[in-house]
Amino acid sequence: MAETPRPLVAGNWKMNGLRGSAAELTKIMSGAGEVAARTDLMVCPPATLLATFASLAQGTPVAVGAQDCHAEASGAFTGDLSAEMLRDAGAVAVIVGHSERRQYHRETDTEVNAKARAAWRAGLMAIVCVGETKDQRVDGKTLDVVHVQTQTSLPDGATAANLVVAYEPVWAIGTGLTPTPADVAAVHGFIRRHLETRYGAAGRQIRILYGGSVKPSNAVELMQVPNVDGALVGGASLKADDFLGIARAYL
């Protein structure tokens, strides 16, 4: 029987944080201790803080990731950042296909796939997000949506080292609403079966994170759900105490 993947708790800071926010990273690093012995920790700040955070976190148990990348390595793409640039700034991973990118920037599954491959090209781990909207859930289309997103957004050749999948029900992000453990188990089990069918033995070790209003008060319950291998945390990751409180679900 395959070993359970080592958990990952990653914080997506979104468009939040100024230079003074490095103090929260310092608190996370200083409090990581026993948590980091059992769980991988990652903070994904805005691009303006990426190099600073990577420098501060070097040699600590806290990894630093980015929030998005362009599919091309370089070129005339004003305002965009390539995966190579993120790697050069110190990132070890990059989030792609987050629902906010899909919604506000109209990113398609094909574009997300290209960004994931770009991450691999640069030596970064791709954290690929999938998840349904409230209307899609109400219509009973959750698994259909997740199936299309995983089938099309995930590139061939994935391994536990280069891919993490994050299930984020769009209707739960930042709303305080959370699916029941049974709902989460159903979707995560569905994703696991897809990964195993497509990637074989590697699919059993690829981590599947849950995201969507994760907080210290519900982390233990959610992190105990089968095939939940950690969390992609939004707002709660901006405060060290809350972020570490979620990670302590694994102690």
Report, as residue numbers or ranges, the catalytic residues: 98, 168
176 phi-psi bin (left φ>0, alpha ψ -120 to 50, beta other): left
DSSP 225: S
Three-state DSSP state, 108: coil
Q: What's the farthest any 2 CA atoms get from each other in the chain?
A: 49
Specify burial of residue 124 (Cβ count, 10 A radius: 0-12, 13-18, 19+). buried
Let me know how long the chain is: 251
Q: List strand residue ranges (DSSP E) for the chain, in order.
A: 8-12, 40-44, 62-66, 93-96, 125-130, 163-167, 207-210, 230-233
